[in-house]
Amino acid sequence: MSQDSIAVGSMAGASSNSGRGLWSSRWAFFLAATGSAVGLGNIWKFPYITGENGGGAFVLVYLACILVIGIPLLMTEVMIGRRGRANPEGAMAALAKQVGAGRHWRLFGSMAILTGFLILSFYAVIAGWALAYTPAAIMGSFAGLNGESSGALFGALLGDPWKLVGFGTVVLLLTLGIVALGVREGLERSLRFMMPGLFVLLLGLVGYAATTGHFLEAVHFLFDADFSKLSGQSVLVALGHAFFTLSLATGAMMAYGSYLPAGTSIAKTAIMVALADTAVALLAGLAIFPLVFANGLEPGAGPGLIFVTLPIAFGQMPFGQLVGGLFFIMLAIAALTSAISLLEPTVAWLGEKFAIGRIKAVVLSGIVLWLLSLGTALSFNVWSDFTLFGKTFFDSLDYLTTSLLMPLGGLGTVVFGGWVLSRTVVQEALGIGHPHLFTLWWQVLRWVTPLGIVLVFLHTLGLFG
Ligand code: PFF
């Protein structure tokens, strides 16, 4: 189907979505969007950046960022997807055409698709670490670990190109397989059991953490706000993370929005997704920090918190093999539900732009993704000396996507939503009935959100802060 043939307004109400697929209900969309949002960012990154930035005060700033940047942008993306009823590039092109704006706006859609695709190439490798650690935990490899030997165990995984490529490939194959089956049969069906499984595992782990006797220490650590520990840098970390954790500027939420049935309130659903995502991040903190404190370990250990610090705790505590195994299975499921959302925009785009079938689009994407993932897997070992601008292949890709493309794409989308689309189009699409509430949201979208993004971006470029 060519993009020009997408009749925008009338399509928004269509129930068949022209054979593109639709979620069976608003609930299915909620599961999918939450599955996308909840991932390594919540369980791996959020706890360690909170640990590094002093706890409660950081959490407060992060919540503010979710509110003024994350939620407005999330609503805008879902709205563009649903109104455009096409892949991110096609949807932006269709909407721009509808309001008489230039065709170049579609490039922000193309950029988002590319960003998600590139992120998936390294996200799969990191998700592979969780897969690798699951059998290790269950088989008791963590018994008696101390700081040094745990670091060495993780180092041995990173140093083994076969293992990194192998586990990354398994994650990619699972992702490709689910996406190949389509919106209902693949994504929706798998999410219907993966998401409840994820929540049960998480609640079970929080329950276990509550029995360690150090739960309150974790609660204080996460919720006591000591602003003296907060730096300007922490605020920017919080802003950047709000983007990543809500899967913004990668086309994921636009693509998922394009399968959202008409008549669902985008505002309400987006707020529910953001709440669920935040709840999981906080619960992950409540599952992890009691174990860290109970075993006398360091909460501010950085990126190694999950893969170096936590295994020491699993090796020392009662039922550690079981708890550790369940923890890494949970991490792998969370990563997989995010990975499928990173692939869907590319597959939808290939299918709609070049009129090829879903399977063909998946195979093509898979080949390129796998080759790219080799770059990341090998950058931890055999290619670790190969650097671009002083960064390894993985660090360069991470920087290019999360520090440059994400804020740029987010800015473009928010400006498109707040300044190019008309107020009535947006109001009607979002379903915020209360006029004052909408006006407030509209002003935040037009001023506060873009300003926040510009701030992060200038800081990234070293021009500010
Ligand atoms: N939100 C995911 C996480 O927190 O791990 C990461 C992510 C998924 C980013 C999907 C972007 C995306 F499109």
Q: The pTM is what?
A: 0.94
Q: What are the residues whose beta carbons fall under 8 Å from the beta carbon of 10, sequence distance 6 or more?
A: none
pLDDT at 464: 62
40 CA distance to ligand 1 middle (Å): 8
7 CA distance to ligand 1 middle (Å): 30
Q: Which residue has the higher pLDDT, 191 or 464?
A: 191
Q: Which residue has the higher pLDDT, 52 or 270?
A: 270
Element (H, E) at 428: helix 423-430
Is residue 126's pLDDT more than 90?
Answer: yes
Q: Model confidence over 35-66: pLDDT tens digits? A: 999 999 999 999 989 888 888 999 999 999 99
**144 with 315: CB under 8 angstroms?**
yes
Q: What are the residues whose beta carbons fall under 8 Å from the beta carbon of 153, sequence distance 6 or more?
A: 136, 141, 142, 145, 311
pLDDT at 461: 78
Sketch the domain layout of the chain as residue ranges: 3-460
Position 12 confidence tier, pLDDT thresholds 50, 70, 90: very low
Evaluate: CB of 240 within 6 angstroms of ligand 1: no
Q: For the chain, what percent of residues have pLDDT higher than 90?
A: 78
Is residue 82's pLDDT more than 80?
Answer: yes
Q: Is 211 helix (H, G, I), strand (E, B) or coil?
A: coil
Longest dimension (CA), the chain: 66
Maximum average pLDDT range among 160-169, 284-293, 381-390, 391-400 = 160-169
78 CA distance to ligand 1 middle (Å): 15
Is residue 1's pLDDT more than 50?
Answer: no
Task: Give the ligand 1 atom nearest the CA of 37.
Answer: 1
**225 with 57: CB under 8 angstroms?**
yes
Q: Which of 109-113, 206-210, 240-244, 330-334 comes out lowest in average pLDDT?
A: 240-244
Site to probe by mutation for ligand 1, drawn from 123, 336, 406 as the one with most ligand atoms within 8 Å of Cβ, is 123
Report which DSSP code applies to 410: H
Is residue 6's pLDDT more than 60?
Answer: no
Is residue 9's pLDDT more than 80?
Answer: no
Q: Which of 50-54, 219-223, 255-259 comes out lowest in average pLDDT?
A: 50-54
Q: What are the residues whose beta carbons fall under 8 Å from the beta carbon of 25, sequence distance 6 or more?
A: 261
Q: What is the mean pLDDT of the chain?
A: 92
Is residue 184's pLDDT more than 60?
Answer: yes
The CATH label, of 1.20.1740, 2.20.70, 1.10.3470, 1.20.120, for the domain at 3-460 is 1.20.1740
Q: For the chain, what percent of residues have pLDDT higher than 70?
A: 96
In sign, the C-alpha dihedral spanning 245, 249, 251, 255 is positive
Rounded CA separation 400/452 (Å) = 19
Q: Which of 83-97, 234-248, 317-331 comes out lowest in average pLDDT?
A: 234-248
Determine the number of helices (DSSP H) and then strands (DSSP E) in the chain. 24, 0
Rounded CA separation 105/125 (Å) = 32
Q: Model confidence over 223-242: pLDDT tens digits? A: 888 888 788 788 888 888 99
In sign, the C-alpha dihedral spanning 239, 242, 244, 245 is positive
80 CA distance to ligand 1 middle (Å): 19
Q: How far apart are the first and last CA of the chain?
A: 47
Position 11 confidence tier, pLDDT thresholds 50, 70, 90: very low
410 CA distance to ligand 1 middle (Å): 14
Evaluate: CB of 276 within 6 angstroms of ligand 1: no
pLDDT at 4: 38
Evaluate: CB of 379 within 6 angstroms of ligand 1: no
